[in-house]
Structure 1
Amino acid sequence: MRIGIDVGGTNTDAVLLNGNTVVAAVKAATSEDVTSGIVTALGQLRQQHDFAPDHIDAVMIGTTHFINALVEASRLAPTAALRLGLPATAALPPLVGWPERLVQAINGRGFLAHGGHEFDGREISPLDPDEIRRIAGEMAAAGVTSVAVSSVFSPVNSDFERAAAEILTAELGDDVPISLSHQIGRIGLLERENATIINAALRHLAEGIVTGLSASIAGEGIAAPLFLSQNDGTLMDVEFARRYPVATFASGPTNSMRGAAVLSGETTCAVVDVGGTTSDVGVLTAGFPREATVEVSVAGVRTNFRMPDVLSVGIGGGSRVRGHDGRAPTVGPDSVGYRLTQQARVFGGDELTATDLAVAAGRADIGDRSQVAGLEKSFVTAVLDRISTDVADAVDRMRMSDEPLPVVAVGGGSILLPDEFPGLGPVLRPENFSVANAIGAAIAQVGGEVDRVFAIAPGQRDAVVDEARQDAVDRAVAAGADPRTVSIVDFDEVPIPYLPGNATRIRCKAVGDLQIDRADTRALAGNGPGVGGGVGR
């Protein structure tokens, strides 16, 4: 059996799965510290269906800890960014384009040094160890506690990043974690560098949070390995999460989409996940979220690590509703969040929320309906129609063609949606739709990805493609996938005409089922190679 947990802004959902069968499912209010909410959810799960801790094979968690810390610009480490590329790239130094509040939150400092490579692996300039040592001294004097290292075209040749990391560790000590860009982002220097800086700023927070999550699971007597969900719907173990916290940023909507695929049986569809604060709309292709093809802005910073293509609308079950006093009705984007059960009218509060309107319209039977009996029917209908129109518009914007695309609604807030979107067809609500995110976490697989620029010699294209495919499969297996279940789920080949040597960018992703030997369960916990090799090993 497995336990899946997803921490949202309003609710923490937990499910107990036996294979793909849901044995128990609960919703608990997300706590301010998040971790205690997980403990509460586990306790409720056991009350609903008692289980022996040693019968649990694995625990999977999707968490908002890290993205919340970045958005709030809190609990971030003093961070330095070292870029290897001189004499090139000096025109746009590290941290260029960052919001000033974030730069201040991380006490950000940027440094430039010689190094870097061309796309085909040729050096731009040699690495200068003395230069790196001098910069390390400046970092130490500035009180830096975490470092991000990026080098031009390091996904092609990572030697300089690794060499610089060894020098920095020798100078600064093992207590200063080093994040390397070739392990985090893709081709594209500034976006990859930004993602690495964000990762570095979260490293110390990740240490404490992952330790806390592990302790909350162990406190329930569960000795099974703990995994965290990644942005692309695959898993990573706790040690990997300590090193790469940015890989969890989009785990919430990704888990919901994966759960929707399992519950509905639809592998290609639009998924609308309505939570307490937002409605996230994404598209599943072959059972996995369609990935964004352009850079993704996170808290105002451009990045290029793997993120699902998701459109968020500020509408959820906790969204504040205004206009019942005669003004034009509005919904959100602000929400009462995890305080829904204290502040919504049906729960005795004085805030009018979208959930109150769903109860007034008879779409949900929760709380005390008499508290919303006085709302005008025309007002309730107008607000719910507005919600339907806004969400349907978001779904339509996510379609890539005029071909029919099934719509699956999940999340507790999906009670706000009608049974059919005009022009889009019926809205499917599978069984256990309200906890699809936790189910998605529990059934997540293991992935490996290759994203490189290859110089393809005449007549060698098939050999290069086979090499990339096998590399992706090997990475998935090394990350903990059962070799018998690994398959290629995404392949993209794009010639780059402005580079010489018949340069071609190849992206290849392989996934497989997590392989857990019950006899080795204890050894796997926290000691694996890092499940989710697609982050960039």
Structure 2
Amino acid sequence: MRLGVDVGRVTTVAVLVGPDGRTVARAVVDSVPGLGECLRSVLAALPGDRTGEVDAVGLTTDLERRPSRLRRVAALRIAPPSHPSLGPLAGWPAQAAREVGPLHAVVPGGSALTGRQLARLDRGAVAEFARRAAEDGVTAFSVAAAGALTRPDPEVAAAEVIAEAVPGAEITLSHELGRAGLRERENTAVINAALRPWAARVSHTAERALRAGGLRAPLFLARNTGGLVSTVYFRRYPVLAIASTTASAVRGAALAAGADRALVVDAGAAEFRCASVTDGEVERSDVGPGLGGVDLDLARIRTELLARVDLVRTGAEQVADLVARVRRRTPGGVLLAAGGDSGLVPVGAPDPAAAIAAAAYGAACSEIVAEVDQVAVAGGSGELERLLGLARDQALARVVAAGAAPDTARIAFAAHTPVSYLPEGVHRLRVRAAGSLGNPGMTRSRRT
């Protein structure tokens, strides 16, 4: 049995889901200050005592999406020199830049996306930067190299130098998180490094609250684009799970309805968001502002947004317009509602109880998910298939590291596309792997 919990700004919802995908029990309480208090309160409100039957807990929350302060980070870029307006942290909002701090450097090295080396890594400059950071009391590092999605070696080598110069350093490598754009990928690595103490606090708080409620099952955190990761993985890569509630709600509503193609309106406390689901996957968008207004190079779900303050006409008319914009991209999808104000969604026979529990249900029923996004240079179809095979292997390794049972890990999606603005033979490889949390009997098509 799985327990899914959605800790929102207004309410906290918990659902117990059986192996057949049916909801066994549900509880809704008012959210209060503090993640731990919310969890203890909703666990106490669950009817019956079935905690001993829970084998996994999936958590999604927007209650503590912004830590009180970002940690200071030493940001290292490996690339040719650039204009200061394009340097590390350039264009960041003032508050985020102040919190992360001014310690950053650019050292020679890196490659073009074609794999051509731009310069040899200046290991001495890396060691000097690492020592300077340590003297300033900074032990969190981010490393971003030009062309790292084609040749990650410079980032790996720089990490080895930093670890030797600063024992105990925490290092985030950009090629493990972002995509082709250097600056946005670098931003993603810096934010990830800055969030690690916050992620440790959130996960430890949640685990303590669950233990206090009698639960001994492992905790998993929902990803930004759907799916789950273990707490260990979340503490290492928190930036992958800082905005998960809407994705969980959209996927949860579709799963509960048994719909592979759907439009879901998530009626949240501050805004309505509409997103589409095709073949069980939420539609995605590209780079955009993330935590603190910083542009991040992360996949995110694509939504149409309606702020509550914009409900100047009757709510149903406004929401209908919202749905129409998404329906143009996903014709034929069934319309579903999620969130606490589902009555404003123009959908036949809505179930308010199931709608408010959609995000918790999505967290309970999700699998472990991990992704690989790389650029590869292949001289022919045989070499391309070999490189895609390596990307598949890497995705499978990542999904196991994220908490999937090894014998259940599988490739859910794999694609390669030529990079149009680069010479022939340069391809973008995208692979997504999924795996079970250890409860393979959970199905995707039963109603709550």
Decide whether aligned partners of structure 1 residues 93 and 392 sit closer, same or farther in structure 2, where only a CA change above 3 A counts: same
What secondary structure does 2:43 align onto? helix
Call closer, same or farther: CA 1:153–1:126 in 2, change over 3 Å: same
2:256 corresponds in structure 1 to 263
Aligned match for 1:275, one of 268, 271, 288: 268
Could you say what secondary structure the match of 2:284 adopts? coil
Q: Which amino acid aligns with 1:228?
A: L
CA distance in 2, matches of 1:402, 1:144: 48
Query: Which residue among 72, 82, 97 is the counterpart of 2:91?
Result: 97
1:390-432 Cα shifts (integer Å, max 9, x gaps): 222222222344733321111122123344xxxxxx5754862
Further displaced range: 217-226 or 190-199:
217-226
Look up the match of 2:28: 27
Distance change in 2, residues 1:459/1:207 (3 Å):
closer
Picking from 302, 306, 316, the partner of 1:388 is 316
Matched to 1:59, the amino acid is V
Structural mapping, 1:58-73, within 5 Å? 58-64=56-62, 67-69=65-67
- Aligned counterpart, 2:362: 440
1:398–1:115 Cα change, 3 Å: same
Aligned with 1:299: secondary structure? Answer: helix
Partner AA of 1:306 in structure 2: A
Q: Deviations over 1:357-386 (max 9, x none)?
A: xxxxxxxxxxxxxxxxxxxxxxxxxx7953
The corresponding residue for 1:246 is 239
Q: Identify if the C-alpha distance between structure 1 residues 156 and 195 changes in structure 2 by more than 3 Å, giving closer, same or farther.
A: same
Amino acid at match of 1:38: L
2:49 matched to which residue of 1?
Answer: 50
Residues 48-447 of structure 1: matches in 2 within 5 Å? 48-51=47-50, 53-64=51-62, 67-69=65-67, 74-87=68-81, 92-174=86-168, 176-315=169-308, 332=309, 386-401=314-329, 403-419=331-347, 426=348, 429=351, 432-447=354-369
Give the conservation status (yes or no) of the 8 Å contact 2:55–2:217.
yes
Unaligned runs of 5+ in 1: 316-331, 334-382, 420-425, 518-537
Local SS of the residue matching 1:305: coil
Equivalent position amino acid for 2:39 in 1:
I
| Residue 498 (1) aligns with residue 421 (2) | yes
CA RMSD of aligned residues (A): 2.6
CA deviation profile, 1:135-154 (whole Å, cap 9, x unmatched): 12332343334221111122
CA displacement at 1:104 relative to structure 2 = 1.4
Change (3 A) 1:390 1:486: farther
Worse-matched range after superposition: 176-185 or 227-236: 176-185
Moved more, 400-409 or 258-267: 400-409
- Answer yes or no: is the 8 Å Cα contact 2:73–2:139 preserved in 1: yes
Give me the whole-angstrom Cα distance separating, in 2, the residues matched to 1:107 and 1:306. Answer: 26
Letter in structure 1 aligned against 2:42: A
Q: 1:430 to 1:514 in 2, by over 3 A?
A: farther
Mapped partners of 1:170, 1:54: distance in 2 = 46
Tell me if the contact between 1:177 and 1:203 (Cα under 8 Å) persists in the aligned partners. no
Work out which of the two has the higher radius of gyration on C-alpha atoms and give 1 or 2.
Answer: 1
The aligned residue for residue 443 of structure 2 is none
The question of whether the paired residues in 2 share the 8 Å contact of 1:117 and 1:124 is answered with: yes
Classify the secondary structure of the residue corresponding to 2:264.
strand
Once structures 1 and 2 are overlaid, which stretch shifts more, 489-498 or 457-466?
A: 457-466
CA contact (8 A) 1:2 1:18 kept: yes
CA contact (8 A) 2:343 2:352 kept: no
Task: Label 1:464 to 1:166 Cα distance change in 2 as closer, same or farther (>3 A).
Answer: closer
Q: Alpha-carbon deviation of 1:109?
A: 2.9
Within 2, Cα distance between the matches of 1:295 and 1:86?
25
Partner residue of 2:444?
Answer: none
* TM-score, normalised relative to structure 2: 0.89
- Structure 2 distance, partners of 1:89, 1:116, is 17
CA distance in 1, matches of 2:226, 2:400: 16
Aligned residue pairs, count: 439
The one-character-per-residue Cα deviations of 1:1-56 (angstroms, maximum 9, x if unpaired) are 111111112111111111211111111222222221111111111xx1221x3321
- 1:342 aligns with none
CA contact (8 A) 2:343 2:350 kept: no
**What is the rounded CA distance, in whole Å, between the counterparts of 1:400 and 1:99 in structure 2?**
34
Percentage of matched positions with identical amino acids: 33
- Partner of 1:222, secondary structure, is coil
Shifted more, 479-488 versus 81-90: the winner is 479-488
Shift of 1:163: 2.3
SS at match of 1:389: helix
Per-residue CA deviation, residues 56-99 of structure 1 (Å, 9 max, x unaligned), is 10111112255323xxxx22112221111134677611101111
